[in-house]
Amino acid sequence: MTAPSNITHAAPQEQRFLVLFDFDETIINENSDDAVLNALPGQQLPDWLKNSYREGHYNEHMQRVLAYMAEQGVSKNSIHSAVENIPPTPGLLNLLQYLQSHLQDFELVVISDANMYFIETWLERAGVRHLFRKIFTNPASFDAAGRLVLLPFHSHSCSRCPENMCKQVILREYLADRQKERGGAPFQRVFYIGDGANDICPSLVLGPRDTAFPRRDFPMHRLLVEMQQSQAAKFKANVVPWASGGNIP
């Protein structure tokens, strides 16, 4: 992701490139909702709770999981520690270190269907929270009783996405807002780094100058390969699969 050398560096508020990151299994090497179950006494959910999940309603399911964890006496400190101990995806901290040294060119944003408490806790622990201009994710905070309360991010009408979040809606609104704030100047290029099926929808916003970076052999990658093989699908962006942060040029 090396900046072209023939373009003069822009002022910090006018970065030329936007880099969007998913969180689970992209910045971190696990699903944070799964990793936090390590804080449970038995480190797993009862079958009745596992089986309560309905397709497209994962946010509701996770609300029940967090309520169950509170009922089992799992403390805020235990959840905090479980999140902090999630390993980064190989090479991702090196990529962030590179981007930190080029923040005059790159604006960084997280768009994730995890939650704000998990993401901010992990990014703070890794020392990289300050790199991200914005985090779009589901609200989550501890109430007076010590229970982590999770809410949906928004409602939308996209049939492809979970009911609590359409990343394409978020990205379209962000690009429009930032263009206004930048005096009408759009980003020269947009880079989207993800792994999951819900990272396909926002990637459809990308144009021919932009790049989608799907994690190799993860759902986003497999679905993009299928789309590229289908003549009916018109995916405009460049596609560069990655196995570690070092594969993202």
Annotated binding-site residue numbers for Mg(2+): 22, 24, 195
Bridge partner list, 109: 20, 134
Q: What is the separation, in whole angstroms, between the first and last Cα of the chain?
A: 4
Annotated binding-site residue numbers: 22, 24, 33, 113, 195
Q: Is the model's pTM score more than 0.95?
A: no
CATH classification code of 12-30+88-138+152-247: 3.40.50.1000
Residues 119 and 24: their CA atoms lie apart, in Å, by: 9
Annotated binding-site residue numbers for substrate: 33, 113
- At residue 139, the pLDDT reads 95
Cα torsion 153, 157, 158, 160: sign: positive
- At 46, which amino acid appears? P
Residues 142 and 158: their CA atoms lie apart, in Å, by: 30
Q: What is the DSSP secondary-structure string of 111-167?
A: EEEEEHHHHHHHHHHHT-GGGEEEEEEE-EEE-TTS-EEE--------TTS-TT--H
- At residue 20, the pLDDT reads 98
pLDDT tens string, the chain, 249 residues long: the values are: 654 444 334 444 578 999 999 999 999 999 999 999 999 988 989 999 998 888 878 888 999 999 999 999 999 999 999 999 999 999 999 999 999 999 999 999 999 999 999 999 999 999 999 999 999 999 999 998 889 999 988 878 888 888 889 999 999 999 999 999 999 999 999 999 999 999 999 999 999 999 999 999 999 999 999 888 876 567 889 999 999 998 886
Question: Which residues carry out catalysis?
Answer: 22, 24
